[in-house]
Amino acid sequence: MRKEEILERLEKVQYPGLDRSIVDLKIVESVEEIEGKPTITLSMQNDEAYQILQERLHDLFGGEVAIRRKQMAKKDIHYGHTAHPNNRAPYAKRVIAVTSGKGGVGKSTVSVNLAVALAQKGFSVGLLDADVYGPNVPRMLQVADEKLRWNEKDKIVPSENFGIKIMSVGLTTPTADTPLVWRSSVAVSALIQFLEDVEWGDLDFLVIDMPPGTGDIQLTMAQELPITAGVIVTTPQPVALDDVSRAIMMFKDIGVRIGGLVENMSFFIAPDTGKRYDIFGKGGGETTAKKYDIPFLGKIPLDMQIREYADAGTPPVAIGDKRQKGYYKNIVDNLLKQIS
């Protein structure tokens, strides 16, 4: 089989989880004859991705072509310490980490609107969607159909909308429903790449939408970034408050300053009667903030239109009414007071 024919076929082989070929990504080190047999040498460091590619190439070429690997030197991404973190985002003056104790409390909605509200104040803002297993930020900002692009410096170009720069693992998958079956080490490596290999430009704020819970990604971000403040999102529900208490203690234990607590889905106002319903309980966020001596940044109600705006990719802080915008602007004003 001729070298040209092999390369032509390789141009159609996509890197696992990306909508880009291994030839475009310069993973194909060489195609040459070794010991009388055409041999493809791949230059890569991700073990799991190599195994997947090896299987694909064996299926593509059968036994006609040998596959081998040139091991690249791995970046050391675990040499930071929470007491003295590295700074993998020197382009950002402040880093805000938004997290929650459990999923489903509206953390990504808060992250998006917080970032947009900061941009409305004239700050240059980047939003990194670090929730690798549930990347909802692209939908919430109308960039879900975009794919990764590289510039002439071989840097990833972030998407942009509503005045902020956006990067998400959701922009790397071939289709919206492609699952990211990644071990935590692979997820961490991807996020480090998003910090270092994206053309963010100079930022006043880098807002990070963290995954829920207290796992590897939270710890790594605290080791590799000087986090200015953490923002914790909860609902008033006791089950959510149990989990958010653990998130608060994680930040305290690793020395990350807590900018404050946001209570989402605080109450519901019936549109027909105007009656208030405390569906998930009442006052839990404020009580928790007092218990752990952290600032309480504000409440956001369970509002059908806010949910519709989020699903449509139109942040309420950008296009909502004065009342809806006010919820998020109040939270940002309170946060800025804490970190100024």
Domain ranges within the chain, ordered by starting residue? 3-71, 92-339
Indicate whether 52 pLDDT > 60: yes
Indicate whether 306 pLDDT > 90: yes
Model confidence at 121, in pLDDT bands (50, 70, 90)?
very high
Mean pLDDT within 90-94: 97
The predicted pLDDT at position 227 comes to 96
Mean pLDDT of the chain: 90
**Lowest-confidence pick of 119-133, 150-164, 200-214:** 150-164
The predicted pLDDT at position 79 comes to 58
- Tell me what percent of the residues of the chain surpass a pLDDT of 90: 58
CA 107 to chain CA mean position, Å: 12
Exposed (0-12), middle (13-18) or buried (19+): which is 307, by Cβ within 10 Å? Answer: middle
Residues 6 or more apart whose CB falls under 8 angstroms from that of 252 comprise 258, 292
Pair 327, 281: CB distance under 8 Å: no
- For residues 280, 282, 287 and 289, what is the CA-based torsion angle, rounded to 10 degrees? 60
92-339: CATH number? 3.40.50.300
Task: Give, in degrees to the nearest 5, the angle at Cα 240 between 295 and 317.
Answer: 60
The pTM (predicted TM-score) of the whole model is 0.80
Q: Which residue has the tokens 């919430």?
A: 140
Indicate whether 233 pLDDT > 90: yes
Indicate whether 58 pLDDT > 60: yes
More confident residue, 44 or 157: 157
Indicate whether 176 pLDDT > 80: no
Residue 127 bridge partners (DSSP): 166, 207
215-228 confidence digits (pLDDT tens): 888 888 999 999 99
More confident residue, 171 or 47: 171
More confident residue, 16 or 65: 65
More confident residue, 284 or 148: 284
More confident residue, 18 or 187: 187
Residue 14 bridge partners (DSSP): 21
Indicate whether 24 pLDDT > 70: yes
The predicted pLDDT at position 95 comes to 98
d(CA 176, CA 197): 23
